[in-house]
Structure 1
């Protein structure tokens, strides 16, 4: 990747820029597989990203020999996407820090869990605050038919400058994905209850660029009695322009993926000698299915479509 800040996954960016805390990325993405897959591009500014969103294109056309060429033009709107802060604070009372052998040992013990939870929270926000609302906004959602709570399935084709994650290069210059800073210069201070504590703050500036509704689609209101048909899934992939399968993923809860097993089961043939039946699959027409427990487990409220 070189020394410049380029596009890559968190793992790729960490390998290049995070020499200070190289294993931090594994902890953050351990329970957040979608966050681990998400390609990220550097933001145009430290705390926000300016981008062009095409509003109209006049392309080339066929003309007779020696005829004047038609005019071509591209019109675009300038839009701004603010980055969000991924992180939080950890505090420890003075006496508890002593019991753990010092504040440094206490924080070292708590950091992995905090970073893991941060990754899970970020992934939940990507699903429910970004992907699904964006698909709804642009009428890229199909109804599987359930009238009660259920699951969702999302198909995304990641494209640089159109649909990808964003990161602030200023953050990676500190040598870690999430920069860790001591509160009050590492000294004691009183918390909101007046207790003397030590504290640290964790921060990473990241965001999501959603600038092409043609690259996302979803199926909602899924349950055991209302499973996505093969045609629904095929159409979902077509609706997100899944021409390059290496950039396209289907995201869902593991139990939602299990509901699809019958599609393979219907096409299987068994004999009296068959001892092992495998109805599971990891791809649909070459597109990888990536499951995540950060989807709600069948408790998404019904949505009217």
Structure 2
């Protein structure tokens, strides 16, 4: 562990190449770690193998390096850790903290997205097409986000017992991300505000695993004027290596106040060095979304 005690991470999904929206999340995470003299890890969230794009993981790593975002240690691939997740799932099934479920999606939709607990007492046995759900209760789960402030949610009323292994056998994001963050000693998580509402589910899993939760910083999503996430449509275009300095400068202008114009002509390492020194997440608006200034022209 670094002297600062700070361990952060960036965890892309290789279902596509790195685009501008995901670059913003990576840069924010990197700056927060380096500003505090901490370690910055990269983890590939590649569990959903049918959606993984061939070559995407390698392209993401190459792009991060091109943009000066050099990580510490080896890259962890979730697809190589299936036994690790499955061991905990089996323990929770044996202790009745989790149970098998064969409810169709339409039943959850009929209850406004909140699972009604249909299979809670059915004692279903294993079948290849059964999901696994974790039991929740009505206690409020709260945390103070470093930017967004107090967040509180009751899982029983907001989502109900949630899935930790899907019907197709794929381990759910909520479980894998928590187990890997614990295993890697992650202390601080910086990510997009679209994941803010899923954080209480992760807090519940930290509680069951008897581990402390990290500190969270959810940065606003950059939206187009038409209300679409920047990661969609034009924003999903793969980043180009020969435009790294220009694109990084644009990202820094969105994440930091008063970025000097002369930094536009600097190399990516020089831009990042300036940004690490001047990183101040408190200067970001405490909202979930902000408009991309480039879409406000005209």
Same fold per superposition (TM over 0.5): no
Quickly name the TM-score band, shorter chain normalised. under 0.3
Q: TM-score, normalised to structure 2's length?
A: 0.22
**In terms of Rg, which structure is larger?**
1
Higher strand share: 1
Higher helix share: 2
Q: TM-score, normalised to structure 1's length?
A: 0.22
